[in-house]
Amino acid sequence: MITVTAMKWAPSFAAGQVRDHRVRWILNEVGWPYEVRLVDAPTMKSKSYRGDLQPFGQLPVLEEAGRPPMFESGAIVLDVAMRAGRFIGAEGTADRAAAIQWVVAGLNSIEPFLFNVAEVDYFMDDEAAKAIRRPVVVSQAKVRLAMLERALDGREWFVGDAFSVADLMMASVLKIARNLDLLSDVPALGAWQQSVLARPAHVKAEQDQMSEIARHSAADMRYDAVPKEA
């Protein structure tokens, strides 16, 4: 049986976006059953977790009998798709190379720009510094999103003529942009994302994550129990 780690609780702005939803999504798409192991902050920062599962104390981690644990949502999505032989081109084909390319692009060329805006909106307390930084990072994010919309060029899918991991990852990454109201200048991209997120496999992944988070609270994460040396 496959086990996926997920946080017991997350703030409302992150519910439905925590990265384990990507792993749930691809597993739902390929039809592989899995269990979810909810973890708290002390667990993620513990020596055993960082030593055996995720060296940076993050999630998700995919655990499966007979295989070493795997971390990084992008790596897990690609691994599952390749092993299942679905939602990614056949080995050695241009479609497979393109799908890998777009997964990496979503994580490296789009997501960091969106995280810069999220950092300002959700984590900066200094209002003066926030007022200076926000216009800069919003402008940079919107430039990237405009580039992405042009690259999609009105197509239904990023690679070939069917849904692939490229679409899964890019639609997932763009959740941040939607929540930060960054898609108003790229309506075609926003409409494309909504159509991808309507897939039943994603809807289930998101709903499952959100329902688990709703059953818990910040107290369940036990941040005060994290060792100082962590």
In a domain, 229, yes or no: no
Residue 224: pLDDT band by 50, 70, 90 thresholds? confident
Residues 122 and 149 in one domain: yes
The label of the residue with tokens 């092993």 reads: 83
Report the CATH number that the domain containing residue 16 is assigned in CATH.
3.40.30.10
Report the C-alpha gap between 165 and 103 in whole angstroms. Answer: 7
Query: Rounded CA gap, 62 and 11, in Å?
Result: 23
pLDDT tens digits along 120-132: 999 999 999 999 9
Please indicate, yes or no, whether residues 40 and 117 belong to a single structural domain of this protein: no
Is residue 228 pLDDT above 70, yes or no? Answer: no
Residue at token pair 């920062």:
45
Q: Where do the H-state alpha helices sit in 54-164? A: 73-84, 94-105, 111-123, 127-152
Q: Which domain holds residue 40?
A: 2-86+202-224
pLDDT confidence of 223, banded at 50, 70, 90? confident
Whether 157 and 68 map to the same domain: the answer is no
Q: Can you tell me the distance from the alpha carbon of 145 to that of 218, in angstroms, rounded to the nearest whole number? A: 33
Q: Is the pLDDT of residue 230 over 70?
A: no
Q: What is the pLDDT of residue 60?
A: 98
Share of the chain above pLDDT 90, in %: 96
**Percent of the chain scoring above 70 in pLDDT:** 98
The reply to whether 211 falls in a domain is yes
**Quick one: pLDDT at residue 225?**
74
Q: Is the same domain home to 19 and 78? A: yes
Whole-number pLDDT of residue 120: 96
pLDDT digits (tens, 9 = 90+) for 59-73: 999 999 999 999 999
230 in a structural domain: no
101 and 183 belong to one structural domain: yes
Query: 29 and 121: one domain?
Result: no
Distance CA 13, CA 171 (A): 17
Q: Are 136 and 173 part of one and the same domain?
A: yes
Contact indicator for 60, 23 with CB cutoff of 8 Å: yes
Any domain includes 130: yes
Task: Residue 124: give its domain's CATH number.
Answer: 1.20.1050.10
Residue 68 parent element (H or E): strand 67-71
Q: What distance in Å separates the CA atoms of residue 104 and residue 111, rounded to the nearest whole number?
A: 10
Distance CA 180, CA 79 (A): 30
Write the pLDDT tens digit of every residue in 156-213.
999 999 999 999 999 999 999 999 999 999 999 999 999 999 999 999 999 999 999 9
DSSP 110: I
Same domain? For 103 and 131 the reply is yes
